[in-house]
Amino acid sequence: MTDASTPPSAEDPDTVHDLRTPALVVDRAIYQRNKATMDAVRPGLELRPHVKAFKSTGMAADLAADGHTGFCAATPKEIEGLVAAGLTDDLLLANQTLDAARLGRLSDQAQITVAIDSDETLAAAVAGGVRNVLIDVEVGMPRCGCDVSEAGPLADKARAAGLEVRGVMGYEGHLMMVTEREKKEYLVEKSMKQLLAAHEAVGGEIVSGGGTGTYDINTWITELQAGSYLLLDTDYARLGQPFETSLTVVATVISVSPKGWAVVDAGLKAFGVDHGNPTWPDGEVMFCADEHTSLVIDENSPTLSVGDRVSLVPAHVDPTVARHEQFWITEGDTVVDKWDIDLRHW
């Protein structure tokens, strides 16, 4: 990435060893394999990539080049960033918002759809100038979504207010981490039957839902909302799906104790730990502190010295990504590209 006569810098690194740590690194080969695996099951518009998982218009543009030109988002900021990047074909805020005017102002630049589940969120959409909505239906996860019985009447009110009701969405997020496949198939079908009952009352061409954990099971939806599959994390990895962890946090060893541990410069401020601590593939993580993680050094782990680089795998992709400013894309130890994480915050 730099001229041979110019020493590499943290802003323009040639290799992983030149990165300022902690650094968010994506293995390009694994990332590409994950894309191909999903594309084989959910090609083109059958996948609506969820940018909340990776928060990068660079990564979104890469997916659009594969034919996934409709995107799903969790925050108004993510929608605004996609529009600014020219990714305007079909954007869904798969979440309720009372700040709909931010999106209504962009309605002439992009097709934007907002999820609603109440009279209040409908009123916000109307007042904010939003033109398209999906009716969000609660299908078993205690989060957003109206009751199946309320979906049809809410759609009628939306149409009476002049909005286009494009269909329904429902997220079976409570089933993503069910590990027994037969049990998961049964529970997903039960959940989606509720969504289809709502769709019968609502109408529209879209039945949106699902995620990485149900990508090959949920056959009732017209489009899958998934994003974690690209990078993965140790929580999803335990499902045994054909996706691999392409994302690691590279850290530097800053201290080694003769009592049997080493300390690296990536801690709670570099990882999302709501699903657990990061994993060190070469050994055991002792604990994470604000700016540090302590690694166990024993006969089963490699010898570490101050200045060594280690790679840690996060347990939860989304909040880990939100703590960093860019992805460094690598082939082996060589840095080949950088994608800004420009969709963070709200």
* 11 assigned to some structural domain: no
Question: Looking at residues 227-247, what average pLDDT do you find?
Answer: 97
| pLDDT tens digits, one per residue of 4-25 | 444 456 678 999 999 999 999 9
Beta sheet of 112-116, edge-to-edge order = 47-49, 223-226, 206-209, 164-170, 132-136, 112-116, 90-93, 70-73
Look at residue 11 in the predicted model and tell me its pLDDT: 77
* 137 assigned to some structural domain: yes
Residues 284 and 166 in one domain: no
In CATH, what number is assigned to the domain containing residue 177? 3.20.20.10
- Label residue 141 by pLDDT band (50, 70, 90): very high
Residues 37 and 149 in one domain: yes
Residue 67 sits at φ, ψ, to 5 deg, of 100, 0
Question: Looking at residues 73-95, what average pLDDT do you find?
Answer: 98
Could you tell me how many residues make up the chain?
346
Look at residue 5 in the predicted model and tell me its pLDDT: 45
Residues 215 and 261 in one domain: no
Calpha distance 82→103 (Å, rounded): 12
CA torsion angle for 84, 78, 228, 319 (degrees, to 10)?
Answer: 130
251-255, 292-296, 301-305, 337-341, range with the lowest pLDDT:
301-305
Statement: residue 107 has pLDDT above 60:
yes
Residue 107 tokens read as 């309605």
Residues 184 and 322 in one domain: no
**Which one of 230, 259, 285 terminates a domain?**
230
* 345 assigned to some structural domain: no
In CATH, what number is assigned to the domain containing residue 330? 2.40.37.20
**Which one of 230, 255, 276 terminates a domain?**
230
| pLDDT tens digits, one per residue of 38-73 | 999 999 999 999 999 999 999 999 999 999 999 999
* 6 assigned to some structural domain: no
Residues 79 and 174 in one domain: yes
The partner residues of 114 in beta bridges, in order of sequence, read 93, 133
From the list 199, 196, 92, 113, the residue with the least C-alpha distance to 154 is 199
Look at residue 72 in the predicted model and tell me its pLDDT: 98
* 235 assigned to some structural domain: no
Residues 216 and 88 in one domain: yes
Residues 212 and 320 in one domain: no
How many separate domains does the chain show?
2
Calpha distance 169→26 (Å, rounded): 31
- Name 12's Cβ contacts closer than 8 Å, sequence gap at least 6: 1, 2
Look at residue 2 in the predicted model and tell me its pLDDT: 46
Domain assignment of residue 126, given as a range: 28-230
* 9 assigned to some structural domain: no
Residues 194 and 265 in one domain: no
From the list 165, 133, 171, the residue with the least C-alpha distance to 52 is 171
Percentage of the chain exceeding pLDDT 70: 97
What is the residue-averaged pLDDT of the chain? 96
Residues 33 and 20 in one domain: no
Residues 248 and 164 in one domain: no
From the list 247, 238, 332, 281, the residue with the least C-alpha distance to 31 is 247
Residues 52 and 174 in one domain: yes
- Label residue 1 by pLDDT band (50, 70, 90): low
Burial of residue 166 (CB within 10 Å: 0-12, 13-18, 19+) is: buried
* 334 assigned to some structural domain: yes
The model carries a pTM of 0.94
**Which one of 187, 209, 230 terminates a domain?**
230
Residues 157 and 204 in one domain: yes
Calpha distance 157→165 (Å, rounded): 10
Question: Looking at residues 154-168, what average pLDDT do you find?
Answer: 98
| pLDDT tens digits, one per residue of 257-276 | 999 999 999 999 999 999 99
- Label residue 196 by pLDDT band (50, 70, 90): very high
Q: CA 93, 199, 318: angle at the middle one, nearest 5?
A: 30
CA-CA-CA-CA torsion sign (217, 222, 223, 225): negative
Question: Looking at residues 172-187, what average pLDDT do you find?
Answer: 97
Look at residue 292 in the predicted model and tell me its pLDDT: 98
Question: Looking at residues 305-315, what average pLDDT do you find?
Answer: 98
